[in-house]
Amino acid sequence: MPPPRNRTETIPVLLLGGPMQDVWLVRELLVDHGAFHFTLDHRPSLEAALEGLKENHWQAVLVNLGPEATALRIVRRIRRECGDLPAVLLSESVDQAQMGRAFRAGAHDLLDKLELGSHLLVRTLRSAVERNRTAKQLLQERNLLRNIIDHLPDLIYAKDRQGRYILGNPAHAHHLGLPSKADVLGQTVHDLFPKEIADVLNADDLQVLHTGGRILNREEELPTPSGELRWMHTTKVPLRAADGTISGVVGITHDIHDRRRIADELRRANKELESALESIRKSHDDLKDAQMQLIQAEKMQSVGRLAAGIAHEVKNPLATLRMGIDFLRQQHAARPDNPTTGVLEEMSHAISRADGVIRELLDYSSARKASLAPGDIVSVVQHALRLSSYPLRSGHVRVRLEPAPGLPLIPLDPIKLEQAIVNLLLNAAHAMPEGGELIIRITPEASPPDMPHADGDRSGASTRLHGPHLLVSIADTGPGFTRESLEHAFDPFYTTKPTGKGTGLGLNVVRGIVELHSGTITLQNRPQGGAEIQIRLPAPAT
Ligand SMILES: Nc1ncnc2c1ncn2[C@@H]1O[C@H](COP(=O)(O)OP(=O)(O)O)[C@@H](O)[C@H]1O
Ligand SMILES: [Mg+2]
């Protein structure tokens, strides 16, 4: 900060050498000059002056000593030893050549003693003091800026219009692997970076030079001398000359590598966390499903045990009844007109029906185990069709069996699977009492379709299929499932059929058998009408 200017500022001046008359003369000339008050000290020699330098805060020195060569030597010494003290030479004759030598030696001015007037002397001393102050201030400012630039950890640099570095700081030199900031001066990015990177950097510089715009917050990967790429953050602005024209580019670059790595890692960790959360959510859902299925299975098992118990209990009395009827039939066979014969016939029918129900109940509750061996699904279906031929034929149902060619053998239990297919064929026959068409297709599939199903589908699968399998589709042209039957068809004892025709156990048994084959079963209605039951059974990979 410059000292505050009072209206009357005191400026101490040193007069070096010369006779006493000169001292009196100069003192005379400096008296009373308005805003400026000069005090004058006199020292006969430079040595005497240097001694008094510390305690006297002279702001200018008048050198009135010896021949020219001596005077110039003194000026140089003053500049050397008291750097910023401006020296004004007093001489008896002044010409251009002398003037030039004085300036080169570092003198502020050279005055002709013979022409010395008060005005000239005061003006010269004032300008010397002012200029000195301004120079000091500039130096201070420059040092401050230099200090800031040199101590910032960011890379700071400037280039001229030709892309040559005209300034750099130690951080910049360090990043480039150069010993000092001076080593960068005069070089271009093409001297310091691989070509493909230099081209990009240079393009940015040219953009700033040509548009006068700024490049803000560019993030780019730059190589270090060891070849490691680091993420850097750069801002570039035009460097303007005093007249406003663009004379170059100033840049500041900040190493954000660690920050960016942490941010990247955080992002990745976050993603992993999200997917972990997603799979936890999914396994939670699966668990809930499994739990529901377990509860259901538990219920079914107790129902099954109950049913088996009842079936066994009822089977024996039924057998007794049948034996009784057979006995009575023999007794009355001789008399066909006897009305008892008709009654016995009806009783025998009733027992057969009851026996059928009991057999289905026992099927339902029979040990849920299958012995799987490679088998031909087509012949299983054909056998089931033969077993069901009577009800199908009597209902005028046309049957189309369309197996794809070259189907592989798959692990199956022929007896159980046949029982399942028969159940489905009978359901179809029941659904088409007035006739219709039954279409059975068997096709290989690479991987199961992605469930969830279209609205109204019902999957009876408690397992999920993976990989190749055979799709057995049994479709009919009946009325299809109702909303309610689709919902409950797998429930044991759920039936929409009149007593004696359905037990409501068929589909439950079918599902059990399909699951013993690690397969899935889906009930749905066909768009064109009618029900379609799809069974998928795992097949060996081809
Ligand atoms: N092909 C089909 N078309 C229409 N509805 C069907 C079909 N198959 C089964 N259903 C419905 O599902 C119910 C349950 O079938 P199921 O378990 O085999 O028992 P049941 O045949 O003894 O009634 C049937 O009563 C019927 O309402
Ligand atoms: Mg049935």
Atom of ligand 1 nearest to the CA of 507: 17
- 74-88, 227-241, 456-470 — most confident range: 227-241
Q: Which residues of 431-463 are buried (b: 16+ CB within 10 A; e: fewer)?
A: bbeeebebbbbbeeeeebeeeeeeeebbebbee
Residue 188 structure tokens? 């271009």
- 185-238 pLDDT, tens digit each: 999 999 999 999 999 999 999 999 999 999 999 999 998 888 889 999 999 999
**Residue with CA closest to ligand 1 atom 23:** 495
Say what the pTM is: 0.45
User: What separation in Å is there between the alpha carbon of 494 and the centre of ligand 1?
Assistant: 8
Query: Helix, strand or coil for residue 541?
Result: coil
User: What separation in Å is there between the alpha carbon of 46 and the centre of ligand 2?
Assistant: 130
Do the Cβ atoms of 48 and 69 come closer than 8 Å? no
User: What separation in Å is there between the alpha carbon of 305 and the centre of ligand 2?
Assistant: 20
- 490-524 pLDDT, tens digit each: 988 899 998 767 888 899 889 989 999 999 999 99
Average pLDDT value for the chain:
87
Q: Residue 530, by phi and psi: left (phi above 0), alpha (psi -120 to 50) or beta?
A: left
In the chain, the amino acid numbered 275 is S
Place of tokens 């010993």: 179
Do the Cβ atoms of 237 and 156 come closer than 8 Å? no
% of residues, the chain, pLDDT over 90: 51
Place of tokens 């408690």: 462
Binned at pLDDT 50, 70 and 90, residue 488 comes out as: very high
pLDDT at 455 over 50: no
**Residue with CA closest to ligand 1 atom 19:** 504
Residue 444 structure tokens? 């290989």
Q: What's the CA gap between 377 and 372, in Å, rounded? A: 12
Residue 4 structure tokens? 């505050």
Dihedral (CA of 132, 136, 137, 141) sign: positive
Give the domains, in start order, of the chain with CATH numbers: 9-148 (3.40.50.2300), 152-255 (3.30.450.20), 273-363 (1.10.287), 368-538 (3.30.565.10)
Phi, psi dihedrals of residue 287, rounded to the nearest 5°: -60, -40
User: What separation in Å is there between the alpha carbon of 423 and the centre of ligand 2?
Assistant: 6
* H helix runs in 333-406, sequence order: 339-365, 377-387, 389-394
User: What separation in Å is there between the alpha carbon of 360 and the centre of ligand 2?
Assistant: 10
**Residue with CA closest to ligand 1 atom 24:** 495
Q: Which of 424, 493, 507, 523 to mutate to test the pocket of ligand 1 (most atoms within 8 A of CB)?
A: 507
Cα angle 57, 114, 23; round to 5: 35
| pLDDT attached to residue 335 | 66
In the chain, the amino acid numbered 112 is D
Query: Helix, strand or coil for residue 451?
Result: coil
Lowest mean pLDDT: which of 156-160, 339-343, 402-406? 339-343
Lowest mean pLDDT: which of 70-79, 175-184, 364-373, 496-505? 364-373
Do the Cβ atoms of 97 and 76 come closer than 8 Å? no
**Ligand lying closest to the C-alpha of residue 428:** 1
Residue 190 structure tokens? 């093409």
Helix, strand, coil percentages, rounded to 5, for the chain: 50, 20, 30
In the chain, the amino acid numbered 77 is R
Burial of 189 (0-12, 13-18, 19+ CB in 10 A): buried
User: What separation in Å is there between the alpha carbon of 375 and the centre of ligand 2?
Assistant: 25
pLDDT at 350 over 90: no
Residues with CB under 6 A from ligand 1: 423, 427-428, 431, 476, 478, 480-481, 485, 489, 494-497, 502-504, 506-508, 531
pLDDT at 449 over 90: no
